[in-house]
Amino acid sequence: MDGVTVSGGVRAVARIVARDDGRGGTSLPVLDGDGPLALRRTRASGAEARVVLVGAMSGPLGGDHFTVEAAVETGARLRLGSAAATIALPGQSKGEARYDVRLSVADGAELHWLPEQLISARGSDLHVTTHVDVGATGRLVLREEQVLGRVGEEPGRLSSRIRVRVAGRVVLDQELACGPGAPGGWDGPAGLGGYRAAGQLLVVRPEFADTPVTPRVLGEHAAVLPLAGPGALVSAVAADARRLRGLLDEALGILD
């Protein structure tokens, strides 16, 4: 199914449902992507199904609206990533582009949402929202990485909000706004401090409710913090995408 082009941009949706197949694995009864959001199943690992989001077109461009929806049902395990970085670009339409991610993880299910970096190119205007619902005994690993501008380039405008609920309770609700027109101070000492790559890693596990993670600093530019619920958040800034990924990988090794 192709994406729908309407006045002002492209509308595209990718939908995934992961289900326990009753034989020690995970089936994918729904795996449907259109237009620029193509989905490819890759080789499974044990009980875990693996899916890659393949960008079949450039974008999102100004006026585009992309949506990714993934539901992991009880007993299922899913690892969802992307084949390459997403680059927000200016388009013929002057409206902002939107990229919405909607994830749900049932009790006893597990989801790893590990996309590649989001690059905010000069002249772009992108608003990203990520909403996640996790059951009381669900497990989640979620990584977000934003790179402000390509090499030697000023960034576009980027705003990103993430909201996570566990067993119906909000454990994280935060927003980042960067680039032209963003609130003052985003690049100052209280913001990114001049760095051009920012990211976070969220880990939700039932055992964190009884044994919260210990707050700690990783190097000079990353910190691990417990959340008010069964989760931990790692926030980091770095000079570039490679260094940022190294910080987040180190943090995941500590939390595993």
pLDDT tens across 82-131, in order?
998 999 888 766 678 999 999 999 999 999 999 999 999 999 999 999 99
Query: What are the pLDDT digits (tens) for 120-167?
Result: 999 999 999 999 999 999 999 999 999 998 887 888 899 999 999 999
Q: Determine the pLDDT at residue 8.
A: 65
- The H-assigned helical ranges of the chain are 241-255
Token code pair at residue 112: 């790893």
Q: Determine the pLDDT at residue 3.
A: 54
**What predicted TM-score, i.e. pTM, was given to this entire model?**
0.91
Query: What are the pLDDT digits (tens) for 167-218?
Result: 999 999 999 898 887 777 777 777 787 888 999 999 999 999 999 999 999 8
Q: Determine the pLDDT at residue 91.
A: 74
Q: Determine the pLDDT at residue 57.
A: 58
Residue 1 pLDDT greater than 50, yes or no: no
Integer Cα distance of 45 and 121 in angstroms? 35
Contacts of 122 (CB under 8 A, 6+ apart): 90, 149, 150, 153, 154, 155, 156
Q: Dihedral sign, CA of 55, 59, 64, 67?
A: positive
Residue 27 pLDDT greater than 70, yes or no: yes
